[in-house]
């Protein structure tokens, strides 16, 4: 018990020290000054290839690549992962949720460290068919998050199937690998075709994705064992989640990347705290799985009809509660606060004119520092609402299933 507490404390203190050191030496600015000029040159050099690919523009390719971008987006995984939990594949759902949060943090951190531009539009034609794509276009370019996430999540899904299914013929294994490669290739090509990324962005998304996947395949069993049977799990991950809000680079100009990281940071904390408390009730390996006599498809549909409205309600209530509590706590602590979107009465007159240089230190990240004397509470609100949503997926909703015999 004492040894576990010691390594947890050492790990958190090490991360806190790293945050302070990186802030003190202005590490982000130094790395950006080294990396961005090189990346920007390759973005410009890659523009002719993007334009050559876009010569084949037609409505079919527009719909195909826009659709593929949607089904590997953060929004899609946010909707898909709860269904995976409720289908009985708890371990796969846990791992893919944490892997998604890990990819989102690393990928967006690299984006905001480098702060490299996307292909210039015009001459490149940029297609943003959904609101999510419009938000993605506001982020920096390198690496391509869609490519990185597709490599990691589809690669891990294939690994999971091959590891836990019995007697899979070699031809099916090859077909699965080929399908993953095809999907990754189409996603990468689609990001270039849509004008969202340069070839250098896609290449680095592929490279970083393979590196992250290799790392995850070597640690995922230890991570899962810690979550399901470790000590001080909720307290440790709670502190880690807060530190990860701090341990994020300041971009040259504000982008939605930090908001995405905050949301998945909250999701990871909610999932882990819920699973750790209810693992032996709802998430052990012997639970009923979909398409078995214990969980027929009709029952699974019933779970969706009960679960989806419930988690949306919890998300709404968590957001409302955070909007009420966080300003009170901030005012009690004597903190001047503002809100860019969630609390209209706290909106600053300088919104839309935020200078990234005013986002000075990582210790401001909990409330996303947006002016010299004010804190933006939207980060705290966003973290709480997504943590509440994720907790309901693995704790509240399974309790309802048990009560309703679903």
Q: From CA 75, how far away is CA 259, in angstroms rounded?
A: 13
Q: At which residue do the structure tokens 């031809």 appear?
A: 171
* Burial of residue 345, with CB atoms counted within 10 A of its CB: 0-12 exposed, 13-18 middle, 19 or more buried: exposed
- Here the tokens at position 65 are 């690549």
Q: From CA 355, how far away is CA 359, in angstroms rounded?
A: 7
Q: Are 271 and 84 in contact (CB under 8 A)?
A: no
Give the containing element (helix H, strand E) for 182: helix 170-193
Select from 204, 211, 224, 201 the least CA-distant residue to 271: 224
- Here the tokens at position 152 are 């990691």
Select from 356, 387, 382, 358 the least CA-distant residue to 371: 358
Q: From CA 366, how far away is CA 374, in angstroms rounded?
A: 12
Q: Which of 89, 197, 261, 283 is catalytic?
A: 197
What distance separates the 2 farthest-apart alpha carbons in the chain? 65
DSSP 393: I
Q: From CA 333, how far away is CA 338, in angstroms rounded?
A: 14
Which alpha helices (H) appear in 287-359, and where do they start and end?
Answer: 297-332
Q: From CA 212, how far away is CA 163, in angstroms rounded?
A: 19
Confirm whether 197 is a catalytic residue: yes
- Mapped onto helix, strand or coil, the DSSP state of residue 337 is strand
Confirm whether 146 is a catalytic residue: yes
Give the containing element (helix H, strand E) for 38: helix 27-54
Angle between the 257-278 and 90-114 helix axes, to the nearest 10 degrees? Answer: 160
Select from 258, 253, 280 the least CA-distant residue to 368: 258
Q: Are 330 and 375 in contact (CB under 8 A)?
A: yes
Cβ-based neighbours of 159, under 8 Å, separated by 6 or more = 217
Q: Which of 89, 146, 220, 283 is catalytic?
A: 146
Would you put residue 57 in left (φ > 0), alpha (ψ -120 to 50) or beta?
Answer: beta
Please give the positions annotated as active site.
Answer: 146, 197
């Amino acid at each position: 018990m004492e040894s576990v507490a010691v390594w947890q404390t050492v790990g958190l203190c090490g991360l806190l020290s790293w945050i302070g050191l990186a802030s003190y030496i202005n590490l982000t600015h130094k790395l950006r000054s080294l990396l961005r000029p090189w990346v920007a040159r390759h973005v410009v050099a890659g523009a002719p290839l993007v334009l050559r690919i876009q010569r084949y523009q037609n409505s079919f390719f527009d719909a195909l690549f826009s659709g593929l971008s949607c089904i590997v987006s953060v929004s899609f995984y946010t909707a898909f992962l709860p269904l995976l939990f409720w289908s009985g594949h708890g371990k796969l759902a846990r791992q893919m949720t944490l892997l998604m949060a890990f990819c989102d943090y690393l990928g967006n951190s690299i984006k905001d460290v480098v702060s490299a531009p996307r292909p210039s539009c015009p001459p490149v034609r940029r297609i943003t068919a959904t609101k999510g794509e419009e938000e993605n276009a506001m982020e920096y370019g390198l690496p391509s998050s869609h490519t990185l996430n597709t490599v990691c999540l589809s690669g891990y899904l294939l690994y999971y199937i091959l590891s836990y299914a019995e007697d899979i013929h070699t031809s099916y294994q090859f077909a699965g690998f080929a399908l993953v490669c095809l999907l990754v290739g189409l996603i990468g090509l689609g990001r270039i075709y849509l004008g969202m990324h340069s070839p250098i962005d896609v290449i680095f998304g592929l490279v970083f994705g393979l590196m992250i996947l290799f790392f995850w395949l070597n640690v995922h069993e230890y991570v899962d064992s810690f979550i399901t049977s470790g000590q001080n799990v909720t307290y440790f991950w709670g502190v880690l989640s807060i530190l990860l809000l701090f341990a994020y680079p300041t971009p040259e100009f504000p982008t939605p990347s930090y908001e995405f990281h905050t949301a998945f940071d909250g999701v990871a904390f909610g999932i882990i705290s819920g699973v750790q408390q209810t693992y032996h009730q709802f998430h052990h390996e012997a639970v009923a799985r979909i398409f078995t006599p214990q969980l027929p498809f009709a029952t699974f549909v019933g779970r969706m009809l009960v679960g989806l409205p419930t988690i949306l309600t919890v998300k709404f209530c968590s957001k409302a509660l955070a909007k009420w509590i966080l300003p009170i706590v901030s005012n009690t602590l004597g903190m001047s606060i503002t809100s860019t979107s969630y609390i209209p009465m706290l909106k600053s007159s300088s919104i839309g004119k935020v200078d990234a240089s005013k986002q000075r230190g990582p210790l401001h990240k909990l409330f996303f520092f947006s002016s010299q004397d004010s804190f933006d509470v939207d980060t705290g609100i966003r973290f709480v609402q997504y943590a509440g949503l994720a907790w309901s997926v693995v704790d509240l909703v399974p309790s309802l299933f048990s009560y309703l015999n679903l």
